[in-house]
């Protein structure tokens, strides 16, 4: 295997037509405090990488069963999994059921915590710029994705929102927000990267679950 990317939360290796993800125990944060939306490594938590992979496997399989294509192939061990190789689009597509986290900080005074939103946002995936918001027209104008791809990413994200929302609602929980990444493969788009407590927030009685509490939900 050839190392192609060493990231903050995972290392990525190339293996023929596949990618091997090795999930780390690193924890991300902002200003020294844990925050899954942060870009700063603030420490490690034993077993965290295994939890994230377990959740990614579960939720990607849930999406596949409901007609959403992902690049997940199989889990190899506690920390590693095999994925299809796709051309990554450098965007994060965020679905916000409720106002929380960076949305509250960004629009302080204009929105209440957990206020209903049901909106899709795009951010440019660039750590050096702190993943800024980007307008859909700018995505097209900068050649990051075509108008058709932008619409398809939005449509797929809303479909994922319905799938996850139904799953958590059946367990007495509320999906707050989540983010997806997309890649190009064989002329189409598929969901890539991961889907876990690192990329979604779920609440119970207005209290957001920890990553470990989310694992209890899918057991």
Please state the CATH superfamily assignment of the domain spanning residues 2-84 in this structure: Phosphorylase Kinase; domain 1 (3.30.200.20)
Over residues 165-193, mean pLDDT = 97
Looking at every residue in the chain, the average pLDDT score rounds to: 94
Region of poorest pLDDT, from 39-53, 132-146, 164-178: 39-53
**pLDDT over 90, % of the chain:** 86
What was the pLDDT predicted at 1? Answer: 83
Which candidate, 7, 38, 35, places its Cα nearest to that of 130? 38
Q: Is 2 exposed, middle or buried (0-12, 13-18, 19+ CB in 10 A)?
A: exposed
What was the pLDDT predicted at 36? Answer: 67
Long-range (24+ apart) CB contacts under 8 A made by 111-120 are 114/176, 114/203, 114/206, 118/161, 119/95, 120/93, 120/94, 120/95, 120/96, 120/154, 120/157, 120/158
111-132 per-position pLDDT tens digit: 999 999 999 999 999 989 989 9
Residue 104: pLDDT above 90? yes
- Separation CA 134–CA 74 (nearest Å): 33
What was the pLDDT predicted at 205? Answer: 86
Decide if domain 87-218 falls under CATH 3.40.50.300.
no
Q: What are the tokens at 24?
A: 């780390």
Over residues 163-168, mean pLDDT = 98
Quote the crossing angle between the two packed helices 147-169 and 48-65, to the nearest 10°.
100
The ranges assigned to domains in the chain are: 2-84, 87-218
7-58 per-position pLDDT tens digit: 889 999 999 989 999 999 998 877 777 776 677 788 888 999 999 999 999 9
Q: Read off the pLDDT band of 103 (50, 70, 90).
A: very high
Q: Taking a C-beta distance cutoff of 8 angstroms, is the pair 125, 91 a contact? A: yes
């Amino acid at each position: 295997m050839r190392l192609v990317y060493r990231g903050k939360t995972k290392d990525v290796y190339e293996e023929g037509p596949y990618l091997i993800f090795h999930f780390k125990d690193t924890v991300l944060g902002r200003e020294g405090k844990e925050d899954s939306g942060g870009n700063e490594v603030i420490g490690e938590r034993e077993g965290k990488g295994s939890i994230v992979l377990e959740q990614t496997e579960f939720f990607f399989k849930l999406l596949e069963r409901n007609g959403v294509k992902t690049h997940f192939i199989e889990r190899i061990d506690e920390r590693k999994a095999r994925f299809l190789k796709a051309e990554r689009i450098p965007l994060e597509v965020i679905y916000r059921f409720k106002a929380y986290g960076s949305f509250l900080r960004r629009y302080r005074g204009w929105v209440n915590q957990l206020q209903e939103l049901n909106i899709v946002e795009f951010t440019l995936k660039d750590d050096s710029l702190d993943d800024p918001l980007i307008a859909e027209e700018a995505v097209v104008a900068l050649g990051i994705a075509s108008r058709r791809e932008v619409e398809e990413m939005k449509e797929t994200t809303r479909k994922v929102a319905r799938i996850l929302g139904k799953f958590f609602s059946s367990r007495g929980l509320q999906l707050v927000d989540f983010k997806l990444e997309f890649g190009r493969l064989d002329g189409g788009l598929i969901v890539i990267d991961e889907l876990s407590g690192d990329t979604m927030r779920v609440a119970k009685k207005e209290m957001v679950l920890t990553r470990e509490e989310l694992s209890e939900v899918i057991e």
